[in-house]
Structure 1
Amino acid sequence: MRYLDEFSNPESARRLIEEIRAVTTRRWSIMEVCGGQTHSIIRHGIDQLLPDRIEMIHGPGCPVCVTPLEIIDKALEIAARPGVIFCSFGDMLRVPGSERDLFRVKSEGGDVRVVYSPLDALTIAAQNPDRQVVFFGIGFETTAPANAMTVYQARKRGIENFSLLVSHVLVPPAIAAIMESPQCRVQGFLAAGHVCSVMGTEEYPPLAEKYRVPMVVTGFEPLDILEGIRRTVLQLEQGRHEVENAYPRAVRAEGNAAAKAMLADVFEVTDRGWRGIGTIPRSGWRLAPRYRHYDAEQRFAVGDLHTEESTVCRSGEVLQGLIKPNECAAFGTTCTPRNPLGATMVSSEGACAAYYLYRRLDLPAEVAHA
């Protein structure tokens, strides 16, 4: 197939669903790691077309959603300071902190700007040498190379009024944390194709072997996801636990060598907090020592700022796959995209936003009658 619409072909989808039905003899729970995959599954109703014995569990793969409240509050503190131009992608502006969001900071006079690339923020810094320019660098391995390149360019060009507020997290340690949870129900994974296009697949075989779970790398279109589910179910039924690449048009086992070299130069691995999950050892990046003076958290001395999560929002349980969004009492009532309580309702890739947008408002039958 060469064209995008071919990956939504109804006849091909029907054949894949029939193949999945034919091989499924037991109940299986499969987690799609990426929020983009969650959005595609709910949008196209893929989970409703699968056999009743297959449950899709929504994982913590939305970068906005897993950014800790503490980091959001640090961003708000920096953005509100005089002389600061705070740059971010648009999806972060409505993520609520403890008391406000970046839109509120902007309305109160803060210079908050939406950019389309971290390099745009570097350009703004070069054009405003008398101001401090900060870019909010969040996300998984997918967005990290561009942020690393921006810091590299800032150092190379001698632009000292630029800094990066870093909240980058890594997928493999999160998979390990999910599997080691006493409440874990996951029996197989759909791995995120865009992450693997950068990092490759070499980190996954040890996880598949240790936890005895199949991992299938797949993309984001309906046929990509269905093929990933088919391969995962087939492994589960056969008692195998291997890593398969069902996304070869974008993913190679070795990943992107240039991107990985840039990441290794600019960042170093560190412990990271995940919203709703907590701190996972060696699950994120921070700037390496030679780039540390570009760290906004250090430059603006906000490292000691700590916060408390909402007791009403259950997005943490959603991110761990313990509940579906519509099992939260606040979902669709006090928590909506217009008035979100948590990041999973804000982000376009958040599970709560997907359930609300595509009208998955009712409780699952087994929960409603419990």
Structure 2
Amino acid sequence: MKYVDEFRDPALARQLLDRIASLMNSPALHTRAPIRIMEVCGGHTHSIFRYGLEALLPEGIELIHGPGCPVCVLPRERVDDCLAIAAEPGVIFTTFGDAMRVPGSEQSLQQARAAGADIHMVYSPLDALQIARENPDRRVVFFGLGFETTMPSTALTLQQAAREGVGNFFLLCHHITIVPTLQALLDDEDVRVDAFIGPGHVSMVIGLEPYDFIAREYGKPFIISGFEPLDILQSIQMLLEQLNSGQAEVENQYTRVVSRSGNPQAQQAVAEVFELRERFAWRGLGEIEHSGVRLKPAYAAFDAERVFALESRQADDPVDCHCGEVLKGQLQPQQCPLFGTYCTPSNPMGALMVSSEGACAACYQYKRTDVS
């Protein structure tokens, strides 16, 4: 890739849109419209809203927004765990910026910091490890969250902490896995998806093979896509071509970044440090089997869940908050009764309004004229 403009060329976009329109006019697709395509990754959701791709597509294609934004699926009770640890004497709590504003039962980490808690925003787990080195008399906790994209950096940081013997560094682990989540969606009878735009960054780590079951067992086309407008339009074309011919395969549009086998070094680091949990809770989706990871016994000394006595708790979203339905593609963001009124980026009631990759935040920023 020489210039990003190559992937935003209006003439090439017009060619792709013409091909998409032609496919939608074919008898095989015209009769089954609307074709419901779920983009799994929040990065794709943001690009779709930012570039107005929905408005460019012909009638009969419905883009629905999946659970691929890790901040968006962060349950309130997990935020409450963060707040409980941050309130412990002698603790410095660290996390990524987006997690700061996710609402817990009573407040967010950002509000707790404003009230005096020692909470730091960091850009990587290595930043948190450096804070631990500089403050040997304090317990420094890093809140690790994200899909397989961010797991390797957390794993490598823990390996570094173990080599150095940094005994005051701890991880509160909320890393989650994409494949069990997709299977849970496919097994949900209330969710209808015809095809998937697959996550590019996650796939850079895990490769293509983990998704094979989606085409083989569920008969759904699955395209790993890049994040530029032409990437997404080409991926939609590829999905429609499969549907039109009655095929279901996993294909890779994002060949400039993703390989079929992924990144073996990253996979090895993750396998050394983490193991699957039996079940894990997601905001709006409930508990999903094997959808999260925890530290292996060899790294137990760094495990904040073992070091801090966390209460078992459950904290539901507000009654009128429909994050779960949006994450499953059952509602569009603007169909939530709180959208744009009680729930805004400056006052988020649900996590989908926090991150720029959240469907509600992206819709609010780029489609305000569509909201009555």
Counterpart AA for 2:358: G
**Which residue number corresponds to residue 49 of structure 2?**
42
Within a 5 Å distance, the mapping from 1:163-242 to structure 2 comes to 163-242=170-249
Q: How far did 1:361 drift? A: 5.4
**Which residue number corresponds to residue 355 of structure 2?**
347
Structure 1 residue 69 corresponds to structure 2 residue 69: no
Deviations 1:299-325 (A, max 9, x none): 111152332332121111111111001
Q: Secondary structure at the match of 2:71?
A: helix
Structure 1 residue 291 corresponds to structure 2 residue 299: yes
Is contact 2:214–2:221 with CA below 8 Å preserved after alignment? Answer: no
Q: How far did 1:168 drift? A: 1.0
Moved more, 103-112 or 252-261: 103-112
Distance in 2 of aligned mates of 1:286 and 1:109: 30
Within a 5 Å distance, the mapping from 1:256-271 to structure 2 comes to 256-270=263-277, 271=279
**Which residue number corresponds to residue 261 of structure 2?**
254
Q: How far did 1:182 drift? A: 1.1
The share of aligned pairs that are identical, in percent, is 51
Structure 1 residue 278 corresponds to structure 2 residue 286: yes
**Which residue number corresponds to residue 85 of structure 1?**
92
Is contact 1:173–1:281 with CA below 8 Å preserved after alignment? Answer: yes
Deviations 1:85-133 (A, max 9, x none): 0111111111110000111111221111111110010011011111000
Distance in 1 of aligned mates of 2:9 and 2:87: 49
Distance in 2 of aligned mates of 1:361 and 1:105: 34
Distance in 2 of aligned mates of 1:152 and 1:310: 40
**Which residue number corresponds to residue 315 of structure 1?**
323
Counterpart AA for 2:203: C
Structure 1 residue 119 corresponds to structure 2 residue 126: yes
Q: Secondary structure at the match of 2:65?
A: strand
Moved more, 95-104 or 292-301: 292-301
Counterpart AA for 1:126: R
Is contact 1:326–1:361 with CA below 8 Å preserved after alignment? Answer: no
Q: How far did 1:360 drift? A: 3.9
Instruction: List gaps (5 residues or longer) in structure 1.
Output: none
Counterpart AA for 1:12: L
Is contact 1:84–1:131 with CA below 8 Å preserved after alignment? Answer: yes
Is contact 1:164–1:296 with CA below 8 Å preserved after alignment? Answer: yes
Structure 1 residue 305 corresponds to structure 2 residue 313: yes
Q: Secondary structure at the match of 1:283?
A: coil
Is contact 2:49–2:367 with CA below 8 Å preserved after alignment? Answer: no
Distance in 2 of aligned mates of 1:33 and 1:312: 24
Q: Secondary structure at the match of 2:43?
A: helix
Deviations 1:261-310 (A, max 9, x none): 00000000112211100111111111111112211122111152332332
Q: How far did 1:249 drift? A: 0.4
Distance in 1 of aligned mates of 2:17 and 2:83: 46
Distance in 2 of aligned mates of 1:39 and 1:7: 16
Distance in 2 of aligned mates of 1:176 and 1:265: 25
**Which residue number corresponds to residue 17 of structure 1?**
17
Distance in 1 of aligned mates of 2:55 and 2:206: 32
Moved more, 115-124 or 303-312: 303-312
Within a 5 Å distance, the mapping from 1:92-107 to structure 2 comes to 92-107=99-114
Is contact 1:193–1:251 with CA below 8 Å preserved after alignment? Answer: yes
Q: Secondary structure at the match of 1:66?
A: coil
Structure 1 residue 29 corresponds to structure 2 residue 28: no
Distance in 2 of aligned mates of 1:146 and 1:303: 28
Is contact 1:78–1:300 with CA below 8 Å preserved after alignment? Answer: yes
Is contact 2:41–2:69 with CA below 8 Å preserved after alignment? Answer: yes
Give the CA RMSD over aligned residues: 1.2
Counterpart AA for 1:351: A
Instruction: List gaps (5 residues or longer) in structure 2.
Output: none
Q: Secondary structure at the match of 1:65?
A: coil
**Which residue number corresponds to residue 328 of structure 1?**
336
Is contact 1:75–1:136 with CA below 8 Å preserved after alignment? Answer: yes
Is contact 1:31–1:190 with CA below 8 Å preserved after alignment? Answer: yes
TM-score of the superposed pair, with normalisation by structure 2: 0.96
Is contact 1:81–1:110 with CA below 8 Å preserved after alignment? Answer: no
Counterpart AA for 1:155: A
Q: Secondary structure at the match of 1:172?
A: helix
TM-score of the superposed pair, with normalisation by structure 1: 0.96
Q: Secondary structure at the match of 1:63?
A: coil
